[in-house]
Amino acid sequence: MLGYLLGIPLMILLAVLQSSVVSEITLLEGQLDLILVTTVAWSLAGRSKDAMVLGLIGGLLLDLLSGMPFGSTAIIYVGVLFLTSLLEGQFWGGHLLLPPAITLLASLLVYSYQLGMLYILGRQVSLAYALPRVVLPSTLLNILFALPVYHLLTSLFHRLFPAEVQI
Amino acid sequence: MNRLRQRTFLAIALILVAIGFLILSVAGFLQPVETTILRPVSGVQTWIAVRYNAIRDLLRSPSDITELRQENARLEAEVARLQQEIINLREQATEAEILAALLNYARSQPDNRYTAANVIGRDVSPFLRSIWIGAGSEQDIAQGMPVVTERGLVGRVAEVFATTARIQLITDPEASVNVEFQTSRADGSLSAQLSGELWVELIPQDVEILVNELVLTSGLGGNFPADIPIGSVLSVRRRDVDIFQQAVIEPSVSFTDLDIVLVITNFQPLPFDQVQ
């Protein structure tokens, strides 16, 4: 419950920051996806169920602040976070390179899905243009932020949710 | 195994919820809910956007030239206003000649009414080119209304909520504007490329388009009022084998630095879907 109390206002704040601030700071035409990076890190930090619910809420908020159909981003976020949750409990789950690697895969999945969605909606889509100008720069920004966000959340969770012993 | 099953059920349930929202949204049932959620969100968005813009402006200029910058901004605004006036006067003069020739002075152009609005955000999808403004249906903003700055055309209202609205920029590949060239009087259709570059297409081959010539909205099609500046001709692409020629346009509006825009509220546009 504490996870949602913390996570839902955080999702609202991140969505607003994404629209007002982050969207102005671009690399070529790519931009950091704060909600994706945060929810993936949230899941990798050991709270995968919370992360899926927050992915739904964050995705809906992003759809609200975008021209994308309401609910469309939420679908892929939940899907990606479910796949991320499958890593929970693996012995290599704490590897240093895991957050950037998973963020890389998650970003590519999300942007491919969004391009596909735009194509279905009948908008002009050019992979030759979108890949170097939008997808790869955005993915790079997401990877750069993956590790700091993961460590921030991990240390926060250690304080908020002390390790439980299952008997 | 049990945990995996739980997670799978949860993921399926959440995806079904999202699909439900998607269907309800496409059917148009979610407009009141979206409006309700966006009301507090837009408040926070405006608060952050105003402060972020102030900090951005502060960081962009050293403090000792702040006064000079303010003066410069005032003068730039004055120049822009005078340029707009010159354009209007030239347009009026050209129009007057045509009207005189046709013995038709009866045509009158109603003055535009504007509602100013802060730009509070940009589309969160990097694939779409639109902005959010802090004014909506409560300020009489309606879908399809043209949006301008003192420099020229910005776009048109694509979605309206109670306190916010989404503006589709003319640099969005889905946007299309009927335009005319100020000197050569040729008509064309402005469309944005995926790169954001603006091209005017469907220009007849027999017209000589000049570099630096101003491009204005023509008013044809009913989606924008006439004579709003869009930009100037950067280059012309003309080949004898083609039916039409193309012109590349440099927009007069800087789309990356939009802080405040004006919505023309007394213009009755065609329904947005019809234009799309």
Spatial separation of the C-alpha atoms in residues B7 and B12, rounded to whole Å: 9
Across the interface, of A18, A20, A118, the residue whose CB is closest to B127 is A118
List, in sequence order, every beta strand (DSSP E) within chain B: 114-122, 130-133, 146-149, 152-160, 165-169, 176-181, 187-192, 198-204, 214-217, 229-237, 244-251, 260-264
Co-location of B168 and B207 in the same domain = no
Looking at the structure of chain B, the number of domains it has is: 2
Q: Is residue B257 helix, strand or coil?
A: coil
Co-location of B168 and B142 in the same domain = yes
- Whether B167 and B147 have beta carbons less than 8 Å apart is answered as yes
Co-location of B228 and B116 in the same domain = no
Co-location of B211 and B136 in the same domain = no
Contacts with A130 from chain B: Cβ below 8 Å: 127, 194
- Regions of chain B short of the pLDDT cut 50: 98-109, 275-276
Give the pLDDT score at B108.
35
Co-location of B191 and B245 in the same domain = yes
**In this predicted model, what pLDDT tens digit does every residue of A109-149 receive, in sequence order?**
999 999 999 999 888 888 888 999 999 999 999 999 999 99
Which H/E stretch holds residue A157?
Answer: helix A136-160
Give the pLDDT score at B81.
80
Give the pLDDT score at B103.
37
Confidence grade of residue A46 (pLDDT, cut at 50, 70, 90): confident
Cα-Cα-Cα-Cα dihedral of A108, A110, A112, A118, to 10°?
-150
Name the DSSP class of B65: G
Give the pLDDT score at B99.
41
- Whether B175 and B275 have beta carbons less than 8 Å apart is answered as no
Q: Where are the domains of chain A?
A: 2-158
Beta carbons of B125 and A64 less than 8 Å apart: no
Co-location of B164 and B221 in the same domain = no
**CATH code given to domain A2-158:** 1.10.1760
**In this predicted model, what pLDDT tens digit does every residue of A61-118 receive, in sequence order?**
999 998 888 999 999 999 999 999 988 777 666 778 899 999 999 999 999 999 999 9
Range of the domain at B143: 63-172+256-269
Give the pLDDT score at B84.
76
Give the pLDDT score at A166.
56
Asked if the structure places residue B241 within a domain, the reply is yes
Chain A interface mutation, best of B33, B50, B125, highest count of A Cβ atoms under 10 Å: B125
Confidence grade of residue A167 (pLDDT, cut at 50, 70, 90): low
- Whether A40 and A80 have beta carbons less than 8 Å apart is answered as yes
- Whether B151 and B80 have beta carbons less than 8 Å apart is answered as yes
Q: State the ipTM, two decimals.
A: 0.87
Residue B114 burial (CB count, 10 A): 14
**pLDDT at A14 > cutoff 90:** yes
**pLDDT at A33 > cutoff 70:** yes
Report how far apart, in Å, the C-alpha atoms of B156 and of each of A68, B247, B271 are.
17, 22, 11
CATH number at residue B236: 2.40.10.350
CATH number at residue B155: 2.40.10.340
Co-location of B161 and B204 in the same domain = no
Cβ contacts of residue A148 below 8 Å, gap of 6+? Answer: none
Asked if the structure places residue B193 within a domain, the reply is yes
Co-location of B165 and B230 in the same domain = no
Contacts with B121 from chain A: Cβ below 8 Å: 16, 19-20, 23, 65
Q: How far is A69 from chain B (nearest CA, A)?
A: 7
Co-location of B199 and B246 in the same domain = yes
Spatial separation of the C-alpha atoms in residues B225 and B222, rounded to whole Å: 7
Give the pLDDT score at B51.
82
Co-location of B86 and B145 in the same domain = yes
Beta carbons of A66 and B56 less than 8 Å apart: no
